[in-house]
């Protein structure tokens, strides 16, 4: 792997959807860099420190959210003189997002009073009253023609369907939930899945005309659903729960065909590969002792003269487990992180009471494929969009990769750079890595064969 220099950032940064540019927030400035040369191609000044940014799907426009001023500013890369400022006045703006056509901005006011659709074409705006959430509860079909919005009024939850052509409400229907948490369209746009708050275990599948096709409840009298995700192929629905189990539902019968348990003690007959991150002392000859301190410091782990590697463990293996505190809200347990591979064969999970372990499940074989046991809690994971390769970070100076052929540790050759977040570009050729106040990019070799692997020197 080849790494770039580190560049300053003080907030969000991300690739454009076409992978040509990188948008970086530096205090009140929005810096647009070329993703290949890293030269600054545009520099925009906002009225306040940037809280979040989002590219339009066509990569031509970008919006910036300013939390200290409830305001949105948008910019154009092809027309630098074009600017847009959205201010809802006393209503405020809690969150903003782009529509699929890249020509409308959706804003949710403070206290979820209304959702407003702002047109960049004719400056018209459309209002939807009483949205349920600010940053979630809105889902678009994959073809970008329809939008589903969670609303709540008269103490009941509803789903409103709008046409993205003229933003008219096509219909709405009540949802059988106590406190609707979120919704998501299926990848084929044929159904909508909705799930309740953690206080009530309930997963509901609706047709766009409001018919309830299936109601799923794994158990009662306990904290319920924590995460829900469709597989990219649309055939599987993964439900992660507070009982530390992952359940997979099929889209034809909506029945559970797999239940995966996250055990703190992994024993036989488990055949999964278990990789544990360990420190290995560097072997140094006596002649190397005369080398400069700078050389030794630059080639040593922050905690001493070590290198990090994975060690393959044999069962039984005890996975580090932290018992959740029962006297505090939002207990650290259950499936809080879940992500599908692009081919839908694998799904990775993290049980929040085992923050340093990542579980990788093989859906085709209905078995555990691997466990990655890290030294530190897992911060972020991301699947390569072009092949079966998973990358994760733990806030250390290393990247960790998994493929069906094995797991590997890669050291980031930048001083004092600890990876706290990461993102792939759309073609899987580059990784964006974030530190606390800087970012860099890593060019990743193409993985042409699942049997090929990478050494820790790549």
pLDDT, tens digit, 9 for 90 and up, residues 410-433: 999 999 999 999 999 999 999 999
Nearest in space to 308 (alpha carbons), one of 218, 374, 247, 219: 374
Average pLDDT over residues 257-274: 92
User: How many helices (DSSP H) and strands (DSSP E) are in the chain?
Assistant: 1, 41
Q: What is the DSSP letter of 341?
A: -
In angstroms, what is the C-alpha Rg of the chain?
24
User: What number is the average pLDDT over the span 316-326?
Assistant: 88
pLDDT computed for residue 268 by the predictor: 86
* H-only helix segments in 80-238: none
pLDDT of 450 strictly over 70: no
pLDDT of amino acid 448 = 61
Rounded to whole angstroms, the Cα distance separating 361 from 371 reads 9
- Give the confidence band of 292 by pLDDT, cuts at 50, 70, 90: very low
437 — pLDDT class (breaks 50, 70, 90): very high
Looking at residues 2-7, what average pLDDT do you find? 95
Which numeric CATH code is attached to 262-458? 2.40.128
Measured distance CA(425)–CA(440) in Å, rounded: 13
Among candidate residues 384, 374, 379, the one with its CA nearest the CA of residue 395:
379
Angle at 274 between CA 228 and CA 3, to 5 degrees: 80
List, in sequence order, every residue forming a beta bridge with 8; answer none if it has no partner.
438
Q: How far is CA 407 from CA 113, 402, 418, in A?
A: 48, 4, 20
| DSSP secondary structure of 195-257 | EE-TTS--EEEE-TTS-EEEEE---SSS--EEEEEE-TTSSEEEEEETTSEEEEEETTT--EE
List the structure tokens of 158: 């509803």
- What CATH number does the domain located at 90-217 have? 2.130.10.10
Burial (Cβ within 10 Å: 0-12, 13-18, ≥19) of residue 41: middle
pLDDT greater than 50 at residue 380: yes
Per the model's pLDDT, the better-predicted residue between 46 and 447 turns out to be 46
Is a pLDDT exceeding 60 seen at residue 456?
Answer: no
Report whether 226 contacts 241 (CB < 8 A): yes
Determine the Cα angle at 102 with ends 100 and 105, to 5°. 90
Total Cβ atoms within 10 A of residue 301: 17
Q: How far apart are CA 210 and CA 80, in angstroms?
A: 44
More confident residue, 9 or 447: 9
Which H/E stretch holds residue 379?
none
Predicted confidence (pLDDT) at residue 293 exceeds the cutoff of 70: no
Domain ranges of the chain: 1-87, 90-217, 262-458
Which residue bears the tokens 């964006």?
Answer: 432
**Residue where the block lists tokens 């207990």:** 331
Q: How many residues does the chain have?
A: 458
> Whole-structure pTM over 0.75, yes or no?
yes
State residue 290's pLDDT score: 43
| Interval 216-220 mean pLDDT | 95
Residue 302 has pLDDT above 90, yes or no: no
Assess whether pLDDT exceeds 80 at residue 305.
no
Q: Which residues contact 185 (CB under 8 A, 6 or more apart)?
A: 139, 140, 141, 142, 148, 191, 192
Q: Is 331 helix (H, G, I), strand (E, B) or coil?
A: coil
Q: Does residue 454 register a pLDDT over 70?
A: no
How far apart, in whole angstroms, are the C-alpha atoms of residue 340 and residue 342?
6
Q: Are 422 and 431 in contact (CB under 8 A)?
A: yes
Determine phi and psi for 3, rounding to 5 degrees. -110, 145
Task: Give me the percent of the chain exceeding a pLDDT of 90.
Answer: 82
% of the chain surpassing 70 pLDDT: 93
Q: What is the longest distance spanned by two Cα atoms in the chain?
A: 79
Average predicted confidence (pLDDT) for the chain? 91
CATH architecture group of domain 1-87: Beta Barrel (2.40)
pLDDT of residue 122: 86
Copy the structure tokens of residue 294. Answer: 């700078």
Assign 3-state DSSP to the chain and report helix, strand, coil percentages, each to 5. 5, 50, 50
First to last CA, the chain: 5
pLDDT in tens, 352-372: 999 999 999 999 999 999 999
List all residues 6 or more positions away from 28 whose beta carbon is below 8 Å from its beta carbon. Answer: 45, 46, 47, 48, 49, 50
| Candidate from 168-182, 339-353, 434-448 with smallest mean pLDDT | 434-448
Supply the pLDDT for residue 123.
Answer: 78
**What pLDDT, on the 0 to 100 scale, is given for residue 410?**
95
Residue among 54, 156, 151, 85 at smallest CA distance from 112: 151
Gap between the Cα atoms of 178 and 155, Å rounded = 9
Are 93 and 70 contacting, i.e. CB atoms less than 8 angstroms apart? Answer: yes
Q: How far apart are CA 254 and CA 424, in angstroms?
A: 32
């Amino acid at each position: 792997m080849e790494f770039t220099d580190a560049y300053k950032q003080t907030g969000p940064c991300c690739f454009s959807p076409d992978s040509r540019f990188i948008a970086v927030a530096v205090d009140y400035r929005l810096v647009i860099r070329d993703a290949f040369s890293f030269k600054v191609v545009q520099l925009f000044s906002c009225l306040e420190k940037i809280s979040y940014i989002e590219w339009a799907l066509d990569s031509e426009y970008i919006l910036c959210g300013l939390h200290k001023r409830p305001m949105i500013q948008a910019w154009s890369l092809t027309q630098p003189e074009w600017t847009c400022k959205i201010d809802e006045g006393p209503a405020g703006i809690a969150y903003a997002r782009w529509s699929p056509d890249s020509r409308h901005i959706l804003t949710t006011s403070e206290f979820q009073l209304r959702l407003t659709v702002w047109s960049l074409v004719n400056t018209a705006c459309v209002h939807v009253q009483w949205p349920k959430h600010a940053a979630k509860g809105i889902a678009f079909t994959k073809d970008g023609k329809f939008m589903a919005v969670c609303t709540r009024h008269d103490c009941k939850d509803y789903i409103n369907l709008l046409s993205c052509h003229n933003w008219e409400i096509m219909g709405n229907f009540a949802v059988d939930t106590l406190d609707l948490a979120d919704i998501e369209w299926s990848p084929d746009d044929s159904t909508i899945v909705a799930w309740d708050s953690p206080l009530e275990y309930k997963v509901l599948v609706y047709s766009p005309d409001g018919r309830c096709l299936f109601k799923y409840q794994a158990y009662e009298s306990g904290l319920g659903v924590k995460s829900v995700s469709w597989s990219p192929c649309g055939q599987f629905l993964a439900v992660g729960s507070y009982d530390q189990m992952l359940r997979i539902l099929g889209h034809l019968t909506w029945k559970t065909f797999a239940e995966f348990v996250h055990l703190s003690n992994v024993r036989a007959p488990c055949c999964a590969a278990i990789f544990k991150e360990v420190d290995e002392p560097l072997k140094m000859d006596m002649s190397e002792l005369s080398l400069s301190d700078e050389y030794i410091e630059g080639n040593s782990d922050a905690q001493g003269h070590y290198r990090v590697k994975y060690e393959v463990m044999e069962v039984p293996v005890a996975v580090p487990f932290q018992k959740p505190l029962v006297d505090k809200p939002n207990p650290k347990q259950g499936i809080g992180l879940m992500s599908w591979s692009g081919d839908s064969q694998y799904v990775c999970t993290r049980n929040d009471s085992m923050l340093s372990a990542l579980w990788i499940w093989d859906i085709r074989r209905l078995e555990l494929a691997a466990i990655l046991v890290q030294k530190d809690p897992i911060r972020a994971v991301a699947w390569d969009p072009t092949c079966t390769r998973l990358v994760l970070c733990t806030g250390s100076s290393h990247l960790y990769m998994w493929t069906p052929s094995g797991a590997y540790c890669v050291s980031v050759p930048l001083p004092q750079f600890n990876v706290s977040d990461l993102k792939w570009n759309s073609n899987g050729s580059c990784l964006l890595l974030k530190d606390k106040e800087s970012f860099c990019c890593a060019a990743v070799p193409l993985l042409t064969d699942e049997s090929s692997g990478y050494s820790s020197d790549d």
